[in-house]
């Protein structure tokens, strides 16, 4: 592996983004809106994955990339993780707040990997890839992420719960009070009248 990709992954940056704009596109550069945080991160992730493929022996062209390369990339990223994941033989396995340090490895958190795959899936298609051949959208990637989620949940003793969407609320016109009601209670009120 090259030291540049290690630095890019560790610092969350890409060397291709650090070059100053040339004089020819200086005028255009001022007219462009700055990239959102999400778009900047997506670009860095895409460039980092491209660098990772180039460092393989032999280098892998993006057109030949498949789900195995994506899985290898996700495993490779674990060395840069900051989340303590206890092994099954650790005395702190399943404890959310262990009372003492242990020798268990630091890994990438499931949520970080899930978000990364989402950004790479979008970047692949934005860069000309077909949704049907998207290596980031395959079933094996979803299975891997589910396994990581389940194992980290057990090892860390922290359940990952889906966030519930809040009900939309609105104000009922013609109501004697200015209270806000949920759609469900508003529907019940309309049925009663």
* C-alpha torsion sign, points 88, 92, 96, 102: negative
* Residue-level pLDDT at 96: 86
* Residue-level pLDDT at 8: 43
| Average pLDDT per consecutive 10 residues, the chain (193 residues; last block may be shorter) | 42 43 48 87 97 96 94 96 93 90 93 97 95 95 96 85 64 51 42 43
Stated as kind and residue range, the H or E segment containing 118 is helix 110-126
* Residue-level pLDDT at 101: 92
Alpha-carbon distance of 137 to 123, in angstroms, equals 12
* Residue-level pLDDT at 173: 57
* Residue-level pLDDT at 33: 83
Question: In the chain, where are the structural domains located?
Answer: 3-12+35-162, 166-193
Please tell me whether residue 182 adopts helix, strand or coil conformation: strand
Number of residues that this document lists for the chain: 193
* Residue-level pLDDT at 5: 40
* Residue-level pLDDT at 131: 94
Strand intervals (E) in the chain:
83-84, 106-107, 169-171, 180-182
The model's pTM is: 0.67
Q: Minimal CA–CA distance to 4: which of 57, 62, 40, 47?
A: 47
């Amino acid at each position: 592996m090259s030291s540049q990709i290690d630095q890019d992954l560790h610092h969350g940056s890409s060397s291709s983004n650090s070059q100053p704009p040339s004089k020819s596109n200086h005028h255009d550069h001022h007219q462009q809106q700055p990239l959102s945080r999400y778009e900047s991160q997506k670009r860095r992730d895409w460039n980092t994955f491209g660098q990772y493929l180039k460092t393989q022996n032999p280098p892998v062209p993006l057109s030949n990339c498949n789900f195995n390369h994506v899985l290898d990339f996700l495993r490779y990223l674990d060395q840069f993780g900051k989340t303590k994941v206890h092994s099954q033989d650790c005395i702190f396995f399943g404890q959310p707040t262990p009372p003492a340090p242990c020798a268990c490895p630091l890994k990438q958190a499931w949520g970080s990997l899930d978000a990364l795959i989402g950004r790479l899936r979008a970047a692949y298609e934005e860069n000309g890839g077909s949704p049907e051949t998207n290596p980031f959208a395959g079933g094996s990637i979803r299975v891997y992420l589910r396994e990581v989620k389940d194992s980290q949940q057990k090892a860390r003793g922290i359940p990952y719960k889906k966030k519930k969407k809040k009900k939309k609320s609105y104000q009922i016109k013609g109501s004697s009070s200015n209270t806000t009601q949920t759609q469900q209670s508003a529907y019940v009120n309309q049925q009663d009248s």
